[in-house]
Amino acid sequence: MSKSASDLVKEAKQQIDNLTAQQVSEELSQANVILIDIRESEELEQNGRIPNSIHAARGMLEFYADSTLPYYKPEFDKSKRIILHCASGGRSALAAVTLKQMGFENIAHLDGGLKAWKEAGFETE
């Protein structure tokens, strides 16, 4: 039986920490937290970004997170709390599960994504 994208996202959300915009805002005040924006570059240009977030497009995520590869980004530090976000929460939920499979233990995502962040009245740049 095949699954839809919605089915996959629903299953992913059962395996990860789903944070509200308020929870993400509170966590960002801590030094060991990194917020990673996995949207495409065009989306950042069109819709803004959460201040101090790190951009790492979803299509390259696994390569950025693998310290044995030349694409590795040091922001993907397994000792830190990593929070992912996308536009509405689907891609970041799937990506969080992928990072868990890669050995990241302190991983979460912004449920509702940038849309929820803006709706909660938080700043973008």
Domain locations in the chain?
Answer: 14-119
Q: Which fold has domain 14-119?
A: Oxidized Rhodanese; domain 1 (3.40.250)
pLDDT digits (tens, 9 = 90+) for 9-62: 999 999 999 999 999 999 999 989 999 999 999 999 999 999 999 999 999 999
Helix (H) or strand (E) holding 37: strand 33-37
- Tell me the pLDDT of the chain averaged across its residues: 97
pLDDT score of 85 more than 90: yes
What is the chain's length?
125
CA distance 84 to 53: 9
Q: Which residue has the tokens 């101090």?
A: 52
Q: What is the pTM of this model?
A: 0.95
Backbone angles phi, psi at 121, to 5 degrees: 90, 15
Q: Are 60 and 71 in contact (CB under 8 A)?
A: yes
